[in-house]
Amino acid sequence: MGSPYESILIKGGKIIPGFGDGYKPFKGDIYIEGDRIVNVGKSTIRKADLVVRARGHVVIPGFINLECNVYRNAMRTLGSDLDYDAWISKIKYPIAEELTFQDISTLTALSTVELAHSGVTTLVNCYDIYLGLDEIEEVVENIELTGLRCITALGVAGDQTVDENIGYPEWLFEGFEDRIKIIEESLKLWSRRELTDVWVSLLLPVFLSDKGWEKVSELISKYGARLHIHLPASKQEYVISKTKTSNQYL
């Protein structure tokens, strides 16, 4: 969603920055050219195609959400009293198994609008469930309709299990080869779009064999794709990664 204005000047607002001395709010201007924020601060620029008088208003020049499962935003308070391992086994994946794709699509659309209203301009949306090509396309288009830039990180878990799978469902470790093929097709179709990029996401690298690592490495090398990787999320995963998997690639 491009702006009809070549330049926009937002003047005199109370700016809450994502950088600088203690992230302290200050009064200043924001200057935008095309679809890029060019300057945030005490601007000397006086003219622009559109000048917005922001005195008395708070202005936040763009949040980047580096890691989210967008469709889960509607469930964010469920199980908040549980520790991580219990939440995985009792809340996260049991609910995921009950969701239809229509549920996921609707939740993604609603949650993306909420992110846009909260000031997010870019997000990394990691899917820890397995979607087909048509489903991925619908999700990508829903997010693009909001005008947000989105990196859709398509997840693959592992191709092996160890004794302690710590609450993860068996389906996460099934169909590794098929999942790689779907991610490859997605890279062909939707990488480097104006508002969308596709990354490869390793959900559970501690459960990936050396052969699995080779396949992932070949995929990202072939398409110049970026890798979105989940490091061990609990002490138990860390112990497994140190003692029961080689993880030479990691």
pLDDT at 131: 82
Domain, as residue range, for 12: 7-61
Any domain includes 129: yes
Residue 8 pairs with which residues in a beta bridge? 32, 50
Judge whether residue 240 has pLDDT over 90: no
Residue 26 is assigned to a structural domain of this protein: yes
Q: Provide the angle, in degrees to the nearest 10, between the axes of the packed helices 101-117 and 133-144.
A: 20
pLDDT band at 198 (very low <50, low <70, confident <90, very high): confident
- Stated pTM of the model: 0.69
Q: What is the pLDDT of residue 165?
A: 55
Does residue 249 register a pLDDT over 60? no
Do 118 and 219 have their domain in common? Answer: yes
Percent of the chain residues topping a pLDDT of 90: 12
Q: Are residues 143 and 158 in the same domain?
A: yes
Q: What is the DSSP string of 100-154?
A: -HHHHHHHHHHHHHHHHHTTEEEEEEEE-S---HHHHHHHHHHHHTTT-EEEEEE
Total of domains in the chain:
2
Instruction: Give the highest mean pLDDT range of 6-20, 38-52, 160-174, 216-230.
Output: 216-230
- The reply to whether 36 and 136 lie within a common domain is no
Same-domain status, 39 and 79: no
212: left (phi over 0), alpha (psi -120 to 50) or beta: alpha
Q: Determine the Cα angle at 126 with ends 123 and 130, to 5°.
A: 145
The answer to whether 68 touches 124, Cβ cutoff 8 Å, is: yes
DSSP per position, 194-222? SSEEEEEEES-GGG--HHHHHHHHHHHHH
- As a whole-number percent, the residues of the chain with pLDDT over 70 amount to 86
Using alpha carbons, select from 155, 163, 168 the residue that is nearest to residue 243.
163
Q: Looking at residue 208, which CATH number applies to its domain?
A: 3.20.20.140
* Domain match, 99 and 219 both: yes
Residue 248 covered by a domain:
no
**Closest by alpha carbon to 150, among 64, 37, 226?**
64
pLDDT of 1 strictly over 50: no
- Model confidence pLDDT, tens digit, residues 4-47: 888 999 999 998 876 555 568 889 999 988 877 888 887 667 78
